[in-house]
Structure 1
C-alpha cells in the first residue's frame, strides 16, 4: 500500500509538471520565424485573429507542439518499460539501437516504395515498428544468456554496436539516393521534428491512447519484472509472456515517436530517471511523472532549438543530445 503522503507528493509533482507544460507551450506558440505576438495568442485561439495569425497558430505552431509533446511522452514510456524489463537503468530506445532500426526501415520505405503522401503518413508508423521490432529482437537474442536472462552490460554494448551498424547502412542508403530524398533522411537522422501537420497527429494519437493506459494497468508487473527471474516466476507472473508484451509496447511507442520526429535519443533515459529521483522507483508513482516529464523535455528542447539561428534552427534531437549525452556518461560512471 502506498502511503497517503507519497500520493500527495506525486499529485503535486504532476500538477507542477502540467503547469510547466502549459507555460512552455504558450511561450513556444509566440516564438518562431513567423511572428505572432503573445497578446494575439488567446484572441486567435478563440477565433478573433486574422488569416495570417490563424494560419501560423493552427497550421504551423499547434500541430508541431502537439506532435512534440506526444512524441516525448512516447519516448519516455518506451524508456521506462525497457529499463524495467531489461533490469538496466541505462536502457533507452535511442541508445540501444531501436530508433536506428526504425530509421533504416523508414529510409528504405521512403527511397524504394514511393506511395501517395496521404497514405504515406499513416503507413509510416507501421514501417517504423517493423524495423524497430526486428532490431529489438536481434538485440534481445544477442544479449540473452540462458539461465541468467539479459546480460545488462551486453545489452548496452550490443545495442550501441547495432546503432552504429545501422547508421552505416543509413549512410550507404543516402549515398545512392536523390538529393531531395537525402535532405529528408539527413533531417530525420538529426532529430528534426518534421511531422508537423494534423494528419501526423491522427496517425499516432490512437496508438498512444491504446498503449499508454495498458502501461498504467501493467505498472505492478513492471515492479515485479525488476526482481530476480526466479522470484518473479514464484510470484505467479508469466515471465516470458509479460516481457514480450511489454517489449512490443516499448518498441511500438519508440517507433511511433521517431516516425514523426526523427532519431531522438536520451528522452527515454532522462525522463524515467528524473521521475524516480523525485518520487521513488515504484512504477505506479513514477510513470505518470515520467510521461509528463518526457513530453515537457522534448517541447523545451524543440522550442530552444528552433529559435536559435533562425530560420533553420537546431534540430530537437541535437538539443536533447547536448543534455542527454553528459547525463548518460554520468549514469554510466555511477553504475
Structure 2
C-alpha cells in the first residue's frame, strides 16, 4: 500500500507539471518567425482570429507542439520500462540501440519502398517498429544465457554496440541515395521534428492511448522485475515472459516516437530519473510524472531550438543532447 502523503505529493507534482506544460505551449504559440501577440492567442484558439493567425497557430505551430509533446511522453515511458527491465538506470531507447534500429527501418522504407503520400504517414511508424523490433530481438538473443536468463548489464552493453553498428549501416544506405532523400534522413538523424501535420498526431496517438494504460497496469509487475529474479519467481511472476512483453511495449513506444521526430536520445534517460527524484521509485507513482516530464522536456527543447537561430533553428535532438549528455556523465559519476 502506498502512503497517502506520497499519493498527495504525486498529484500536486502532476498538476504542477501539467500547468507548466500548458504555459510552455502558450508561450511557444506566440514565438516564431511570424510572431503572434499573446493577447490574441486565446481568441484565435476559440476561432476568432484572421486567416493568417489561424494558419500560423492551427497549421504550423500547434500540431508541431502536440507531436513533440506526445513523442517526448512516449520516449520517457519507453525509458522507464527499459530501466526496469534491465535494472540499469542508464538505459534509454536511444543509448541501447532501439532508436538506431527504428532509424534503419525508416531509412530502408523511405529509400526502397515508394508509397503514396496518404499512406506514408501511417506506414512510417510501422516501418520504424519493424526495424526496432528486429534490433531488440538481436540484442535480446545476444544478452540471453541458457539457464541464467537475460543478463541486464550485458543487454545494455550489447545495445550500445548495436547502436554503433547500425550507425554504420545508415551511412552505407545513404551513401548512394538521392540528394533529397539523404537530406531527409540527415534531418531525421539530427532529431529534427519533421512530422508537423495533424495526420502525424493520428499516427502517433493510438500507441500512447494503448501503451500508457498497459504500462500502468503492469506497474506492480515492474516493481518486482526491478528486484532480483528469485524474488519475482517466488511471488509467481513469469520473469522472462514479462520482460519480453514489456520490451515490446518499450520498442513500440520508442519506434512510434522517433518515426515522426527523428533520432532523439536522452529523453528516456532524464524523464524517469527526474520523476524518481520527485516522487520516489514506485512505478505507480513516478511513471505518470515521467511521462509528463518527457513531453515537457522535448517540447521545451524544440521551442528553444526553433527560435534560437534563424531561419531553420536548431534540431530538437541536438538541443536535448546538449542537456542530456552532461546529465548522462553525471549519472555515470554518481554510480561509481
1:244 Cα deviation from its structure 2 partner: 1.2
SS in 2 for 1:48: coil
Alignment map for 1:63-212 (pairs within 5 Å):
63-212=63-212
Task: Determine the structure 1 residue equivalent to 2:16.
Answer: 16
Residues 1:306 and 2:278 are matched in the alignment:
no
Residues 1:62 and 2:67 are matched in the alignment:
no
Task: Determine the structure 2 residue equivalent to 1:25.
Answer: 25
TM-score with structure 1 setting the length: 0.98
Indicate the RMSD between aligned Cα atoms, in angstroms: 1.0
CA distance, structure 2, for counterparts of residue 63 and residue 204 of structure 1:
12
CA distance, structure 2, for counterparts of residue 154 and residue 233 of structure 1:
21
8 Å contact 2:86–2:153 — kept in the other structure?
A: no
Task: Determine the structure 1 residue equivalent to 2:41.
Answer: 41
CA distance, structure 2, for counterparts of residue 132 and residue 33 of structure 1:
36
Residues 1:235 and 2:235 are matched in the alignment:
yes
Task: Determine the structure 2 residue equivalent to 1:332.
Answer: 332
1:112 Cα deviation from its structure 2 partner: 0.6
TM-score with structure 2 setting the length: 0.98
CA distance, structure 2, for counterparts of residue 172 and residue 40 of structure 1:
49
1:54 Cα deviation from its structure 2 partner: 0.3
1:147 Cα deviation from its structure 2 partner: 4.1
CA distance, structure 2, for counterparts of residue 142 and residue 298 of structure 1:
32
1:245 Cα deviation from its structure 2 partner: 1.1
Task: Determine the structure 2 residue equivalent to 1:296.
Answer: 296
1:285 Cα deviation from its structure 2 partner: 0.5
Task: Determine the structure 2 residue equivalent to 1:2.
Answer: 2
1:165-184 per-residue CA deviation (whole Å, 9 max, x = no partner) reads 11111111111111110110
1:157 Cα deviation from its structure 2 partner: 2.3
Task: Determine the structure 2 residue equivalent to 1:214.
Answer: 214
SS in 2 for 1:307: helix
Can you give the 5+ residue segments of structure 1 that lack an aligned partner in the other structure? none
Higher mean C-alpha deviation, range 142-151 or range 132-141: 142-151
CA distance, structure 1, for counterparts of residue 69 and residue 225 of structure 2:
28
1:132 Cα deviation from its structure 2 partner: 0.3
1:2-39 per-residue CA deviation (whole Å, 9 max, x = no partner) reads 11111111111001100110000001111112322212
1:43-97 per-residue CA deviation (whole Å, 9 max, x = no partner) reads 1111111111000100011100110000000000000000001111111000001
SS in 1 for 2:308: coil
CA distance, structure 2, for counterparts of residue 149 and residue 325 of structure 1:
31
CA distance, structure 2, for counterparts of residue 148 and residue 327 of structure 1:
33
CA distance, structure 2, for counterparts of residue 60 and residue 163 of structure 1:
33
1:217 Cα deviation from its structure 2 partner: 0.8
1:318 Cα deviation from its structure 2 partner: 0.5
CA distance, structure 1, for counterparts of residue 229 and residue 212 of structure 2:
25
**Number of equivalences:** 335
Higher mean C-alpha deviation, range 163-172 or range 249-258: 163-172
Higher mean C-alpha deviation, range 146-155 or range 233-242: 146-155
